[in-house]
Amino acid sequence: MIDNKNIELLVNRILSGKNYFSYNNEKYEIRKPSLSLRTKSDILYEDAYNDNIFSDFVLLEDISNICIELGIISHDYNKQISDLEKKIENSKVDYFSFFVDIDKKKKHKFRLNSLKKQYGLFLDKVHSLDYISLEHYCSKIKNEFIILNTLYFYETDILVFKNKEDIDYMYFNNLVTEINKGIIDIDIFKNICRSEYWKNLWSDQKHFLLLEPVSEWSEEQKTLCNLSRMYDRIYEHPECPSEEVIQDNDALDGWMIFQKRQNSKEKQGKGVNNMLSDKIKNSSEIFLMANNQEKAQTIIEFNDQQSLGRMNQKLDFIKSHSEPLRDAQLPDVKQDLVKQLKQKQGK
């Protein structure tokens, strides 16, 4: 968490479009690049890419194969990334679901942090050789151009690097290091959005805080406004979570994932119901075909907990018998038959 004083400082900095920092007792300011400057930097990127496409540079799309050949990652790294992302999503939903249970909340928080750390380390491996790619080289040229044309001495209109032909790169790189220290983490942005200082500004003047066209906004300005709109939608939601959940980034992520899954399930359920005829809609069991594992999982998720329990009980029973089974031997069918027999006897 950051205190109110730092929040006010960061908000003013973001709205101003300038970042101030010091290096070797000298003050500097870096300003947001204009749309024109960003367009020129994009042209520089494209020129550098086209000029070097047939050089010895490696393309970013080939980096993964090199990492596989060197044994840094395995050939199924995409599946590993996907599996980890799914586990993190599920862990966030569990963390939200058990948010009021202190013991279970701690257990799921520990597991979630462990998964996020594992995911971060794995991504570091996947991208460990990105720096040798042509795209990285072009991005470096693009970013260098932007910094050279937006870095000024404090409270002046004097560029630090007026002479672009004779740059002291040790000095330049040291300044870039200081600039990077000022990058705002996404969690800090969320803390700002939830602060009373920003909420008062946003609710009263959201349409007047930034009068420039969106195309002229800095990345920080875009991030702050987009996150603020996200929180607006959350507070307006008919099933808005508690303030405690909103204040917890992981719990709120879990709530949003849960809502997204519920909405998706309802839409898919309506789609399936439209496919079913009135003749089979009320059947005790309905079988739908799936041509891949993802669709099969989607169909399975249409079942409620009771139906899933019966399904798993039936599958376990079938797996425990090597010989062929008749339908009447299955546990759920036997239960239904006994129930029907009792109803007849009662009549």
**What are the Cα distances from residue 83, in Å, to 122, 125, 256?**
12, 16, 19
Lowest mean pLDDT segment, chosen from 93-97, 201-205, 224-228: 201-205
CB 229 within 8 A of CB 190: no
Given pLDDT bands bounded at 50, 70 and 90, which one contains residue 16? Answer: very high
pLDDT tens-digit readout, 223-274: 999 999 999 999 999 999 999 999 999 999 999 999 999 988 877 766 555 5
pLDDT tens-digit readout, 111-170: 999 999 999 999 999 999 999 999 999 999 999 999 999 999 999 999 999 887 889 999
**Average confidence (pLDDT) over 172-194:** 96
Token representation of residue 40 = 């020129």
- Other C-beta atoms closer than 10 Å to the C-beta of 150 total 20
Using alpha carbons only, give the angle 243, 248, 251 rounded to the nearest 5 degrees: 95
- Other C-beta atoms closer than 10 Å to the C-beta of 88 total 19
The rounded distance, in Å, linking the Cα atoms of 61 and 78 is 13
Among all chains, which residue has been given the structure tokens 């909340």? 105
**Average confidence (pLDDT) over 321-345:** 75
User: Residue 300's pLDDT is what?
Assistant: 67
User: Residue 206's pLDDT is what?
Assistant: 85
Percent of the chain with pLDDT over 70: 87
Which one is predicted more confidently, 295 or 189?
189
- Other C-beta atoms closer than 10 Å to the C-beta of 43 total 12
Given pLDDT bands bounded at 50, 70 and 90, which one contains residue 42? Answer: very high
Query: What is the bridge-based pairing of β-strands 26-31 and 18-23?
Result: antiparallel
Give the HSE-up count for residue 283: Cα atoms under 13 Å, Cβ half-sphere.
11
The rounded distance, in Å, linking the Cα atoms of 104 and 95 is 8
Residue 27 φ/ψ, nearest 5 degrees: -95, 145
CB 29 within 8 A of CB 175: no
Which run of H or of E encompasses 281? helix 278-281
